[in-house]
Structure 1
């Protein structure tokens, strides 16, 4: 039990990997591994103060005798944007910048918000929605929230899901919930984010998300028969 608490103290809040010397801290005492300090340009992701040369010697002494996993190499990922055949590959930081600059993706910083909301309108009988992607920042990690239109059998459906911008082993450290509600009704999905290494079509085919048949979506709408809208609320949690 004590060792578990030690490992929890040594877990970097950004990359969730174990920290080893040198361990730096901001003026408020928030600690980061040396790799994440470089990624975040010495800005604390918690209080946004500048991280200077202050070392957390206490944690360094705790980490010194322990056999901790080494920091992984920077990994490359494919662009998760599903509306075009994008050939861009790179680190998570590079992909996030690429999504914002080249695909005009909406970026939600959830540092101070536990819930995000996204509205879809209008939905018509013949909806030609092909997909929507947003980037969410939570616990210093990056996530992709996606809303896709697909056909299940002969039934037009929507599916909303979240993927983790990283490896599957890290993704399993988080959980998420998505909810669509309105007119006294509520439909909720709870699950574990997939890695962005998983193709979004695979997620749709496995129904691993909040699946909403098009006709069912009307029940949650606050619009009319010809044009209606629904709102999805989402939350990401650390296990």
Structure 2
């Protein structure tokens, strides 16, 4: 054997073993990487969606999406709120647009935010927000007007909430006859009075009666709201009547959906409006106390 032959053979075998090991390891890493991508593809999409959440308001960002010199992003509304200062690194934001993230958003399709409430539609990222503003599955706001109630939910949940938490009177039937009494009728500043819920035709209606200032004139107003969407509300009509012997004031209209806020309906004057002097006249007696009887009915249009 030539001098050094054995050493040469051992080195060759060692190099061969190392080469085989590297090949096996590389194949295993490629396989593992492919498996990870296959397994976590959905998580990757969710990760992109998380990148589109504004770090300030936590809402989805829509163009223009702004970024600071260090790449931190936020929505245009919050850029004003933070006085053009990056909330993450405190650098001045300037007017840099994150065009790459805006482009990525165009490729996304996301489920409606009210999926848990019954909407199973999927929309392109930039169409999702517009849909959610009008989605028929979006929750309703509590129709109680006597306080700033932030509770939202579907109709059965809100009916229970009104009964349990606001102690609202609940009545079955499509006709009503209410008597509103107030010892000092001159106090009308922002006075919300009564809300009554009627279960009629298997649906729920809210009867509001309140006092407020219309310009310089104190007035009383009664109106009906439908616990459902506007297209359903249009299937019903209602009438209201107030008066005394040989004199009466009537109103007929379509109930407004509770999608419209209480204040919006009131300020539109879409209901029976009674000036205070006339209301006191209808009350009879010495006109120092309000005793007003309001009757009405609800019917379904054919």
* TM interval, short-chain normalised: 0.5 to 0.7
Asked whether 1:220 is paired with 2:288, we answer no
**TM-score of the two chains, using structure 2 as the length reference:** 0.52
Q: Deviations over 1:175-198 (max 9, x none)?
A: 000000213210000000000011
Q: 2:194, 2:207 → 1: CA distance?
A: 8
Any gaps of 5 or more consecutive residues in structure 2? 1-134
Conservation of the 8 A alpha-carbon contact between 1:92 and 1:165: yes
**TM-score of the two chains, using structure 1 as the length reference:** 0.65
Number of equivalences:
165
Matched with 1:126 is 186
Conservation of the 8 A alpha-carbon contact between 2:240 and 2:272: yes
Match of residue 154, structure 1, among 208, 216, 238: 216
Match of residue 94, structure 1, among 157, 169, 172: 157
Any gaps of 5 or more consecutive residues in structure 1? 1-71
Conservation of the 8 A alpha-carbon contact between 1:176 and 1:236: yes
Where in structure 2 are the equivalents of 1:1-239 lying within 5 Å?
A: 74-110=137-173, 114-122=174-182, 124-128=184-188, 129-239=191-301
**Displacement, 1:125?**
4.2
Note closer, same or farther for the CA distance 1:119–1:89 as it changes in structure 2 (3 Å cut): same
Q: 1:223, 1:199 → 2: CA distance?
A: 36
Q: 1:109, 1:123 → 2: CA distance?
A: 29
User: Following TM superposition, where does structure 1 have runs of at least 4 consecutive aligned residues deviating by more than 4 angstroms?
Assistant: 72-75
1:220 is paired with a residue whose SS is helix
Q: 1:122, 1:106 → 2: CA distance?
A: 18
1:130 is paired with a residue whose SS is strand
Quick check: which one's helix share is greater? 2
Q: 2:136, 2:241 → 1: CA distance?
A: 36
1:124 is paired with a residue whose SS is coil
**Displacement, 1:214?**
0.9
Quick check: which one's strand share is greater? 1
Give RMSD over aligned pairs.
Answer: 1.6
> Relative contact order: is structure 1 or structure 2 higher (C-alpha 8 Å, sep ≥ 6)?
1
